[in-house]
Amino acid sequence: MFKFPEHQVAGHLALGGKLGPQIDESGRFCKPLQEDERGSREVAFYEALYSTSKVKKQILRFFPVFYGTHITEASDGSGLHPHLVLQDVVSDYLKPCIMDIKIGSRTWYPQASEDYVAKCLRKDRGTTSLSLGFRISGLQIYRGKKSGYWKPDRKQIQKFTADDVRSVLRKFVSSNQLGDSDCKPDSPPACYIYGGFSGIFQQLLELKSWFEDQTDFHFNSCSILLIYDGESEKNGGNPQSTIKLIDFAHVFDGNNVIDHNFLGGLSSLIKFISEASATQLSKPKWLDAPAA
C-alpha cells in the first residue's frame, strides 16, 4: 500500500530501514512526525495555515494540501508512528523535474541555542546560503528515455558554488531542448517553465508579494520546490510548472514583522532565475561534462 517516494530529492529518506516519508497510490505523502518540538511545530503550522482566514487561496496553492495527522506503520519497521498526511506534490507528473531550494541566508531561528546556531552558521557559510541567500538541497532533471534522470548526490550538491547554481538553474530548464537525441520535440519549451503567465517566475513573484506583507509566520530553514513535467505531451505540452513550499519544522510566529530573511533569499533566487531565463538558450555546460 505504501511505498518509498522515488522522486524525493532531499530530506530524510525511508531507505535502508530508516524512518522517512512514504507515499500511497491515492496521491498522499505520509511524513513521519519528528518526536521533539519540530514535529509539533510542523503540525501547528499546517493547522494555523488552514484555520486562519488571513492566507488567501491564491497563496494556499503554494503549499501541499494538508489532510491531518494519522498513526500508521513507520518505514523503519519500528511499529506505529504518527505521520503528517500531505499531498504528494509530484503524483500527477509523468517525469517530474524537481529542485529543492532552501531559502534564507540564515537557516537558524533567533530563539535557538548557541550550539544549534553555531552548527547552522557553519553550514550556511560552507554552502551558498550565506552568499546567495539560498542553497540547492536536491534536484533531479529528466534528460530523456536513454539517459533518464540526472540526480547529483548530496555531497556534490553541498559543494555547489555560485557558478554551479547558475549553471544548474539553466540546466533545469534547458534539458528538454538540449537533452539526448530521443528527446521528444513536443516536450515543454524552456520558456514555458520559468516564464509565461503561469510559469515559475510569475509564481515566485506572487509569493514574494505575499512575503512583503505577511507578518504571521517566519519560515526558518524552509524550502521551495520548483517542479515541472519533463514529459508533458499527455497534458497537451503543458509542463505544469509549479512551486511548493515545504518543511515547516522551524516555522515560528512572525510577531508582526515580515520574514525579511526569507524575503531576501527569495528575491535573490528570483534574480538568479531571471538571469537563467535570459541565457537558457545557450549551450549548457553539462553537455560537455561527463554525467554525474
Residues in contact with a copy of itself by the rule CB under 8 A: 105-106, 110, 125, 130-133, 162, 212-213, 215, 255-258, 260-261, 263-265, 267-268, 271
| Minimum distance of a copy of itself from residue 199's CB (angstroms) | 19
| Minimum distance of a copy of itself from residue 158's CB (angstroms) | 17
Write the CA distances from 134 to 74, 220, 236, 250, 260, integer angstroms: 32, 12, 33, 16, 13
**Residue 130 belongs to what H/E stretch?**
helix 129-132
Considering beta carbons, is residue 107 or 187 the nearer one to a copy of itself? 107
Cell (9 digits) for 261: 530573511
| Minimum distance of a copy of itself from residue 126's CB (angstroms) | 11
Considering beta carbons, is residue 8 or 105 the nearer one to a copy of itself? 105
Considering beta carbons, is residue 196 or 264 the nearer one to a copy of itself? 264
| Minimum distance of a copy of itself from residue 288's CB (angstroms) | 22
Q: How many residues does the chain have?
A: 292
Considering beta carbons, is residue 125 or 146 the nearer one to a copy of itself? 125
Considering beta carbons, is residue 36 or 114 the nearer one to a copy of itself? 114
| Minimum distance of a copy of itself from residue 202's CB (angstroms) | 16
Cell (9 digits) for 37: 518540538
